[in-house]
Structure 1
Amino acid sequence: MDVCVIGGSRHFGRRLIGELRDSGAAVTVVNRGSAPAPPGVTHLLADRDDEAALTSALGGRRFDVVIDQVCYTPVQAAVAARVFAGRTRRYVLTSTVEVYAELGRPGGPPLPEGAVDPSAGSYDLELPWADAQFLEDHYGEGKRQAEALLVQEGPFGVATVRTAHVLGGDDFTGRLAHYVGRIEQGRPVVVHPEPQPASFVHEPEIARFLAWAAAAEFTGPVNAASQGALDVRELCAAIGRATGREPRLTGGPDADLSPFSFDRCYAMDTGRAARLGFGFSAVADWLPYVIKEATAR
């Protein structure tokens, strides 16, 4: 298999590249060069937002599949649809649970892929996607619109992997560290009065899933999450057991809420992944290890 990975310079992206390379795939990594690519892969330097530069860097290369780790807007998706037309038969977009933002409800069921249908979604290329603050404030919407544009306009088969909150590894987001640090120091953790469950996935498992999806044939969205959603109280309790400290949970203004506290169900239904043949592990199997890893830093 000949695979192109766009991005992949940090967190589970680097592990994904290693998974693909070690499976025998020929891997080409395209990024701006902010970090060196792992050994054993082809590294092309290009800004994926610069259509001419990306086209030039790719030259005459063709791929069995493209895995896009850093597509956040419909504008970026439109560039990819044009540049990779005729270069690949399959495109895997790394998407996010955030496409379901505001769709869950307190006490509601896990969210299935059909809750957001990219084949019927709209997109607006004229919104200020180049503005960093706008993009940050509309992260989930940007991913929704990127999915919609690729599915509707991409001249190749498109699969969108909606990734749960990733824990473990070199997590640059600092979200788990927020909890570990506060609980170890005896500081309060601000949560909703009735926090709702969310889905999580282990860093090596999402890398394996993306590598598996690259070699599969399915199209459309698929949820990627370990089994067993947790609410923030359960997460804090697990950290408390690992650190030997009793978590101090408190209420507070929305601006102070901790990052995994949600007032609506944020869990995803992974039935489609199971039907396609991928079985996720249980959160309980790996969470204690991830917490110990975080406390050792």
Structure 2
Amino acid sequence: MRLLVLGGTQLLGSAVVRTALDSGWEVTTLTRGRHGTPPPPVDARFGDRTTAAGLDELGDDEWDVCIDTSGFVPTYVRLGAQRLAGRVGRYVFVSTVNVYPDWPEKPLGPDSPVSDCPPDAGPDDGDYGYLKSGCERAVLESFPDSTTINRSGLIFGPQDNIARVSWWVDRVAAGGEVLAPGRPDQPLALIDSRDMATWMLTAPPGAFNVNSRAGTQTFDSLLTTARDVTGSDARFTWVDDGVLRDAGVEPWTEMPLWLPEAGHAWDMGVAGAYETGLRIRPLAESLADVWEWVREHGLPTGEGAERATEQEKRLTRAREREILDNL
């Protein structure tokens, strides 16, 4: 099988490349070359997918599957999809649950409404989720019967370039008293990039919410599993949401994964993905691999990290200690 990956060097893209190679696929990537080079024997091509000249690097080759991990702007996604029409058997587009305007206020089901962004929208025509919905439409124009839309939840794993889950693993590994936000039973729903990659290689056409099942993970299971796999002496002090708000802690960015008014953020209908082959590995396996990666590479920071401003806002140990001392 021949696979084209648009992207291929960051968290999800690299997982797709490694998974496909391990399964015996022939892999081609198109990247800008800003985040390293895919491993051999990948046919690594370099070009800006937002331009016709960049897409020329794909030549006239054909592939069984294209997995698009890097599309964010409809007009650019449309340009690439039109160029690949008739040359790709199935197009997998990595979208997001942010395409649902009711998320996270309402639970997501198969009939939940999606934002109505046009397929020719530009980078300044809306926010992230709105533009992703336009990207979906851009792909469907060229691949009306052979598009798989992956409306992904929160992805983590080795080579995490945003460092939300890995930030927690690193903090727990340092041991001592750890400020744990809100309630131990607060639901989470996270998906290992490698599990998502495996599913995408063989998923059928259609639109799917792709994540772990709601209720199978909690904040407590995340932290205690991180303690187990790192062998730390961490002990958790659970601090009420109101206390953290009063202290001015910024949800999600300063304290990753903490959503004090989460609503149904982690409640998304994923039955379709499971029925078509999605499998989630044990959390301990994922976190052990994350910890191995962090020990070898550290956490991304500053300009080298995706969403660098978010990285720079992470809760410092000094601020954590100040909040705990004031309880």
Shorter-chain TM-score bucket reads 0.7 to 0.9
Please tell me whether residue 36 in structure 1 is matched to residue 26 in structure 2: no
In structure 2, relative to structure 1, the CA distance for the partners of 1:115 and 1:158 (3 Å cut) is: same
Following the alignment from structure 1 to structure 2, what is the Cα–Cα distance between the partners of residues 124 and 192? 40
1:172 pairs with one of 135, 150, 161? 161
Match of 2:193 in 1: 203
State TM-score, norm by structure 2: 0.73
For residues 6 and 179 of structure 1, the distance between their equivalents in structure 2, rounded to whole angstroms, comes to 30
Contact 2:119 2:138 in 1 (8 A): no
Q: CA deviation at 1:162?
A: 2.2
Taking only aligned residues, the RMSD between alpha carbons, in angstroms, comes to: 3.1
Aligned length: 280
Q: Could you tell me which residue of structure 2 aligns to residue 58 of structure 1?
A: 58
Quote the residue 1:222 is aligned against: 208
Which of 248, 258, 263 lines up with 1:261 in the alignment? Answer: 258
Residue equivalent to 1:280: 279
* Residue pair 2:195, 2:278 contacting (<8 A) in 1 also: no
TM-score (norm 1): 0.79
Output the CA distance in 1 between the equivalents of 2:137 and 2:27. 27
Match in the other structure for 2:111: 114
Distance in 1 (alpha carbons) for counterparts of 2:82 and 2:98? 26
Query: Which structure carries more relative contact order (alpha carbon 8 Å, separation 6+)?
Result: 1
Q: Which runs of 5+ in 1 are unaligned?
A: none
Is it true that 1:212 corresponds to 2:202 in the alignment? yes
One-letter identity of the residue aligned with 2:206: G
CA separation of 1:175 and 1:83: change in aligned 2, threshold 3 A: same
In 2 relative to 1, CA 292–45 (structure 1 residues): closer, same or farther, beyond 3 Å?
A: closer
Equivalent residue, structure 1, for 2:103:
103
Partner of 1:159: 148
Query: How far is 1:100 from its partner?
Result: 4.1
Tell me which amino acid in the other structure corresponds to 2:288. Answer: Y
One-letter amino acid of the counterpart of residue 59, structure 1: G
- Tell which deviates more after alignment, 221-230 or 280-289: 280-289
Match status 1:141 vs 2:136: no
Can you give the 5+ residue segments of structure 2 that lack an aligned partner in the other structure?
297-327
Aligned equivalents of 1:97, 1:188: Cα separation in 2? 30
One-letter identity of the residue aligned with 2:217: L
Match of 2:118 in 1: 123
Q: Match for 1:272: what amino acid?
A: G
CA contact (8 A) 1:229 1:267 kept: no
SS at match of 1:44: strand
Displacement after TM superposition at 1:239 (Å): 3.5
For residues 81 and 2 of structure 1, what CA distance do their matches in structure 2 show?
17
Deviation at 1:281, TM superposition (A): 2.8
Cα drift, residue 292 of structure 1: 4.8
* Counterpart contact for 2:73–2:123, Cα < 8 Å: no
- Structure 1 CA distance for aligned equivalents of residues 178 and 22 of structure 2: 44
Secondary structure of 2:188's partner?
Answer: coil
SS in 2 for 1:37: coil
Name the CA distance, whole Å, in 2 between partners of 1:25 and 1:295.
28
Whether the 8 Å CA contact 1:6–1:31 is kept in 2: the answer is: yes
